[in-house]
Structure 1
Amino acid sequence: MQDTPKTRLHVDSPLAEGQAIGLDHERAHYLRHVLRLERGDAVAVFNGTDGEWLAVIDGFGKGWCSLTVQARRRAQQDGPDLWLLFAPIKRGRIDTVAEKASELGASRIWPVFTRHTDPHRVNMDRLRANAVEAAEQCERLSVPDMPEPVQLHKALADWPAERVLFLCAESGSARPVAEAVRDFAGRPAAFLVGPEGGFAKSELDDLSKLPFVVPVGLGPRVLRADTAVFAALACWQALVGDWTASGGDARPPFRAAEDARGQPI
């Protein structure tokens, strides 16, 4: 058995030393036939509540794989309290939004329908699968919450007053995103990104009247909806999020530091 995991998996099972985990056909196939793993190989597992653990493959069968949890690698830590609300866009690009928002640390990814939203149906199973895969690859300890899509006004009806909502506004009065994010540092935050056709004027007027909404601009160029998502989340992370951590916490875990000669230290 090797102590270095061959891959990383999100599981729904409780995690503790000696815990047995059964994987479904899709995951068993992935480990056995895609990664070519064998009995005794190590994998890392996490479930969003118990931290990350080292597990070993006990065996494979027809459509199944069993693991045994051995030792905890990392304790559970709270990630950024950052929500993303976005108007669904075309297939392919909406999958990328789910993937990259997960990589960028969003704790909630919520599709909302606006007046100019083009797609009116969202494959949430596929979106969640993309977010899970991204969480596995980027070494975060949780998977984003992904509520079912709703009309924008319903999402805002019970909005928590303490959470500031940065409205990525393509027109009208808006503050520079960096300035606004810094001013509200320390508060729970969310970004709202509209559809490719932009928000309707009536929507912008209604949003501007809400006390928790802060319109922000993302620069002098017109960004595509998916680009606006990535730009907004990256700005928040770089200014007040977990990109600002010092030392090893500012980089992915288990990455060795290197000295000036490129040798691990």
Structure 2
Amino acid sequence: METFVVRLWLPDRPGALGAVASRIGAVRGDVVGIDILERGAGRVIDELVVELPDAHLVSTLVAEIREVDGVDVEDVRPSTEHVLDARLDALETAEVLVRATSVDEVCESLVAHAARDFEAQWCVLTGFDAAEPSVAIGAPPAGAWLRAFVAGSRYSVGMLPVDDGPGQDETGEQGPSGPQSGEQGPDDVAWAPLPAAERALVLGRKGRPLRTRERGQLAALARIADHRWRQIELASYATQPRERSTARRQPA
């Protein structure tokens, strides 16, 4: 069996997903996973993990799904060896972060796991005003671009993209699309602040916009990392006076 991840736009109405599942079954496919990425304005964005008996059936699968009224296929991609489970992956990343024993470990773990969990082409942790990222994976934009992006995003009231694609319903109302409060930016870039650490986590992904659920997950991981950072720093400050006192009592 071949496994694929299919990203869909569906009408937010009873039976829409069932109709899609029926079409998938018509090409001998099997839905083995589902992730709701975004919902609003009468539309839902779902990712389905689909098993097919043959990779050559992908084009037939897409054609069948598009026969369902109001359904659009945004993306189809082969599944990686590690089939992502957003909730389980988030818990595993949170566990790694809370077990970190140093600030460096928090930073490196956050960037590495965020890049994996969101299948990002690049991911960085950068100071709000830093010239270059402190930790980076992949090939991120130049430091000046990152600095300007974070600065603009922190003070922006909203940068929601408007287009003529599936994001608009038949009334012209903007449906689920792009970043939301506190996470403004272009569709292929997401960021989340770490206020105590005075840093920002930024990542980019080509081909598939980062949706509301993904941005919320990124923000939650950043909050966990920021909290752990603060805990480690406070513990370090608490031990310093005792260490100095012990040193003064040591015989010369």
Common fold, TM-score beyond 0.5? no
Answer with 1 or 2: which has the greater Rg: 2
Report the TM-score when normalising by structure 2: 0.25
What is the TM-score of this pair, normalised by structure 1?
Answer: 0.24
Structure richer in helix, relative to its length: 2
